Structure 1
Amino acid sequence: MTIKAIGYAANHSFSRLKPLAFERDEPGAGEVQIDILYCGVCHSDIHQAENDWGNTVYPCMPGHEIVGRVARVGAGVARHGVGDLVGVGCMIDSCHQCAPCRAGDEQYCEGPNSWLATYNGPMTPKAKAKTGENQYGCDNTYGGYSNTIVVREDFVLKVPETLPIEAAAPILCAGVTTYSPLKHWGVKPGHKVGIVGLGGLGDMAVKLAKAMGAEVTVFTTTKEKVAEAEKLGATGVAEGDKQAYAVLEKHFDLILSTIPEKHKVDPFLPLLAHGASYVSVGALAQMPGWNHQELIMGRNTIAGSLIGSIAETQEVLDFCAEHGIAPDVQLIPIQEVNEAYKKVKSGDVRFRYVIDMASLKPELEDAA
């Protein structure tokens, strides 16, 4: 049996997102069906819809910052019940067998097709489903720009009721993408953390690092964002401020880059303290070279971090609820998603867009 569903999808790299009627399988054993209330707009959604990474499967229905309520459960479901407030992030399955999966790091799954993304199918789609070589039995998956979704219960998160529901959505990607490296590199009270970029990821990175007790400095190419950083309790530094950079040499225990595009690493290496790391989370692109002498002389590291595990996603939801942390969001109807994409691409955004899925009602009525 199937469920009639509707959402917004792109049919080509150059096309606008438009309504698409489709079907989802009813929840089977160990699965839950979620009525989607809100879905965040992530910069990755835009990259994927426009095939910037050269791996998009069309139609592409983005959305991996999903908050909703459980509508139905399949046989044997124990973690979630009908009516529960829940979330779905970037992953909906993994191989469960490889070393990273057994260690609870599903986002680094080394299975035949890697992990199964909430949209755009397996991360490494080595074969079409019809060949029998794809372990997930699908070429594509449709994400949260839709009215409903069906997911394995162990990839569904519990959203604390104390969080603003609409603001909880970006925590499922922007939140965990910055929380995971802050946790992995052991940020604690008194540490000095640099955040490169103050977009959706940078905003969450500042708030999380501050809540962990760190002293935070934000580096931005937009002078207006220096004041925004200071409102968040961080020190703001504009790109090209040579005096500020000189004062901050050997200063940071960790520098976290949230910039979603290719950018230079070299200007930040002299700012790392002995043994410190520069970690990139925002750019899935080949980066320019860097000065190896800087790394060698300080025993420093250039590293990367990919989203976060299911356990870390639950941790960051709970952490945000405990510390009263939430991203700044603006609700939009889904009919304005293409305009929102333009503003995100131009950098003309001071918040995270979140789609109110109640706005899908006209399309649902038309499809009925």
Structure 2
Amino acid sequence: MTTRLQFQIRRVAIILGILISSRHAVGAQTPDSTARRSMATMDTAFAHARQLVMEGKAAAGRQIVDSILTATPPGSPAYGNALYGRAMVAPTAADAERDYQRIIVEYPLSAHAGDALLQLAQLERSRGDRASAIAHLERFLQENPTSTKRGRTGLWLAQLLFEENQDLTACGVLDQARAVTAAGDVELRNQMDFYTARCANALSVVHADSVARAAAVDSAHADLMRRAEAAKRAAEKRLWAKPSKTKADDSASKHTERRPATRGAEAPSRSSVTYSVQVGAYTTRAEADRAVVRLRARGLEARVDGARKPFRVRLGHYKTREEADRAAAQFKKAGLGGFVTAVDGR
């Protein structure tokens, strides 16, 4: 390593040490401005370290990052940022993933906590762990309602859901992602539009299935009414065939005439239907339960629907679709993506 490079490394570490120490010394006087300067300087140093790694000077780049970690107080949000810098120049994917996991668990308030979720999702997707990648992308969308990366994150999530054959959920996510994507981001919008035909097909399949189910119910109801009418006519024929009617006969006739109505009452009635807003679908119950806990902490009426995967996280029970649509609009304003779905009200 050249003398000049060693000098640069020492200089970066010294500057960061001074900034971090001064942040703690200033305390409540100017915490925000001092923290911003410290983070900006740290990010500049990390960018320099990544550049060295890309130029083939991996040892020098990682030495800069290690110096920053040594100078940063463990337990502080800045330490989470330092872990992110180390993960970005990690020699292996496993090393990087270990630091990303530490950030989202131990330093959720770090400025790079959201970026760590996205990086984790990409690593998980690359090795075929779609369930974990979906969970981390959903968490990013829930915890970062104002991020400019929501559009692209929504596209990644929709792509994974399509790969899992959860087309309707994917299309709902895609609609939300398109809504937060700038009109000038033509490339991203074109990638979303690629799935327009698939979404249209998914909706047509659901519509056709609904029509078929309705037709089956109507057919069963019509058959029941025909049999009831036939039973009534048969009873009347038997009664009128008798020469005379006694009080007992009259009573029996009335009882017989009520039989079709009784049979009709025994027919299975359609269950009432309500509407909810679905904000997530998970491959494990534990992940769905954690999402419900987070939503309930925000004062929302959240629950898990389904006894097997995907475990759907839904909000509220609404009597009409219009009420559910209004609620979904309010959730969207609060940073929660979702779509209205009909549920069995039993």
Normalised by the length of structure 2, the TM-score is: 0.28
Which structure has more helix as a fraction of its residues?
A: 2
Which structure has more strand as a fraction of its residues?
A: 1
Q: Which one has more relative contact order, counting CA pairs under 8 Å at least 6 apart?
A: 1
Normalised by the length of structure 1, the TM-score is: 0.27
